[in-house]
Structure 1
Amino acid sequence: MFSNEEKKAFITRIVEKWFFPDFTNKLTWYVVTLGAGFILVPQPIKLFIINWLIKVFNVNSGLTLNLPDMEASTDYSIGVILVFMALSHNIGYKYFGLQKLIFEHKVRQEQRIGDYKLLEKFLIDFPSNCGSAILLKEHDFGNSFNREKLKQLDEFYYRWNGAEYHFIDPELTLKEKHCTRGVNSFCSR
């Protein structure tokens, strides 16, 4: 079902995500932690930290801004909103990431289908048991031969130089270029 390279790429992606999470995942966890802090930390500690941050800002900013001290409240809406926003962002990010992976997989499948059809066309145009291939394999070109037997090779030479006759898969492309270079070299002599 899946090739070894696809399995290896999948495992590599999982390991990379585990040890090196992407920025949005880190950001989501920071926002969830901040929101949970707003919800779970007692009010006096929150007030102390926020007032301390205001004083640090006033001392380090060099500005003469006087920010008011925060007062106690029992409103947890900020924390709930932060947690909800972070989780909905993470779900949306994962959804669109999954949609992107599905789209890329479909594109690769279409490319494979296109390469498969082109390979079938190649095997129809120049099968390994055609007269030209047998002549190339078995004949000593120091002797005379029937030029008609090279008809399929000549047709392949003229037809497979077009842009529509190139594979997408790098390995197939390399082999196709090697084959067409050899045919071009033979036919141009």
Structure 2
Amino acid sequence: MKSDISTMFLNFLHKWLFPDFTNKLTWAVASTGILLVTTPVEFKVAICNWLITTLNASSVPPFEVPLVEENQNVMGYVLIFVSLAHNAVYKIISYKLDALSFEIKREKRRVDLDLYEKFVELFPSAGETVLMLKDGDFACDVSKSSMKALNDFMYCWEGAEFTFNNEDIEFRKSEFYNLVTNFKRKVSLYTFSKDSDYLTVYPRHINPEFDSIPQSVKNEIETLDALANKLYIKHQSFITYSKKHL
């Protein structure tokens, strides 16, 4: 919270007191001051007196401005000092903004890395769930335990605390989440509990070893196998992309 307030305050100063043209402005003021200091006194007095004479002659009603007789270069030194001080403050604010921006990015990256590690812990490539997606064949029985990680992911990872700061990674996680949701929905529609440990696509009245398998069941097997393979590819793609960009 404190960091956010500091960032907002420095951004305000940077925008309104030190806009993008600040370096050009600084050099213009400094150049004017240097010009005032280095220009010969006689030339400056002549120019000032000419301007004053023109002003006195054109004023309505007329008023008299005294002529300049000498010059102490005070204004030139003031302009040089102000320009240098302005540039110094600008550099300090820019440095602070860069430091805060770096700290914020580092913290966001740390959060994303922690979240990525939780994802890999839930879905290790050599874990039961991922291997089921890679090698599983729904024409055979499927272990219920291989579905646990998918269930945990579907029920937990939609919350805000499981959102990646990196928008591209979050987009790919959302794609994986949608695939998991679709896959689990199909599994719940097409499979039956064979016993306490396994799921099967075959209704109780069909024995795949002896009975003819209906085409509808074959289609369901193909659908589940295709979705499982698609999930595996998306999982591997997500792991590869996240490792590269975190």
Same fold (TM over 0.5): yes
Corresponding residue for residue 147 of structure 2: 150
Percentage identity across paired residues of the two chains:
31
Give the 3 Å change call, closer, same or farther, for CA 105–54 of structure 1 in structure 2.
farther
Determine helix, strand or coil for the equivalent of 2:142. Answer: coil
Corresponding residue for residue 167 of structure 2: 170
**Structure 2 contact 45–71 (Cα < 8 Å) conserved:** no
- The alpha carbon displacement at 1:168 in A equals 0.8
> Which structure 2 segments of 5+ residues have no match?
1-18, 187-246
Please list, as runs of the form range in 1=range in 2, the aligned pairs for 1:44-63 lying within 5 A after superposition: 44-53=42-51
- The alpha carbon displacement at 1:125 in A equals 1.7
Corresponding residue for residue 28 of structure 1: 26
**Residues 1:108 and 2:109 aligned together:** no
Give the 3 Å change call, closer, same or farther, for CA 79–88 of structure 1 in structure 2.
same
Residues 113-139 of structure 1: per-residue CA shift (max 9 Å, x gap): 111111111111222222121111112
Match for residue 118 of structure 2 among 117, 121, 124 = 121
Residues 90-121 of structure 1: per-residue CA shift (max 9 Å, x gap): 01111111110011001111111111111111
Residues 136-171 of structure 1: per-residue CA shift (max 9 Å, x gap): 111233554233321111111111111100111123
Q: TM-score, normalised by structure 1?
A: 0.77
**Structure 1 contact 126–156 (Cα < 8 Å) conserved:** no
Give the 3 Å change call, closer, same or farther, for CA 140–35 of structure 1 in structure 2.
same
The one-letter amino acid of 2:20's match is D
Give the 3 Å change call, closer, same or farther, for CA 50–132 of structure 1 in structure 2.
same
**Structure 2 contact 36–73 (Cα < 8 Å) conserved:** yes
- The alpha carbon displacement at 1:64 in A equals 5.1
Corresponding residue for residue 7 of structure 1: none
Corresponding residue for residue 38 of structure 1: 36
Give the 3 Å change call, closer, same or farther, for CA 174–49 of structure 1 in structure 2.
farther
Q: TM-score, normalised by structure 2?
A: 0.61
Q: Output the CA distance in 1 between the equivalents of 2:118 and 2:151.
A: 16
> Which structure 1 segments of 5+ residues have no match?
1-20
The one-letter amino acid of 1:76's match is N
Give the 3 Å change call, closer, same or farther, for CA 30–139 of structure 1 in structure 2.
same
**Structure 1 contact 35–83 (Cα < 8 Å) conserved:** yes
- The alpha carbon displacement at 1:70 in A equals 4.0
Aligned length: 168
Residues 80-99 of structure 1: per-residue CA shift (max 9 Å, x gap): 11100100110111111111
Q: Output the CA distance in 2 between the equivalents of 1:178 and 1:53.
A: 73
Q: Output the CA distance in 2 between the equivalents of 1:143 and 1:67.
A: 107
Give the 3 Å change call, closer, same or farther, for CA 75–126 of structure 1 in structure 2.
same
Q: RMSD over aligned Cα, in angstroms? A: 2.6
Q: Output the CA distance in 2 between the equivalents of 1:56 and 1:129.
A: 90
The one-letter amino acid of 2:177's match is T
Corresponding residue for residue 138 of structure 1: 135
Give the 3 Å change call, closer, same or farther, for CA 100–70 of structure 1 in structure 2.
farther
- The alpha carbon displacement at 1:174 in A equals 2.4
Q: Output the CA distance in 2 between the equivalents of 1:59 and 1:85.
A: 34
The one-letter amino acid of 1:119's match is Y
The one-letter amino acid of 1:23's match is F
Corresponding residue for residue 178 of structure 2: 181
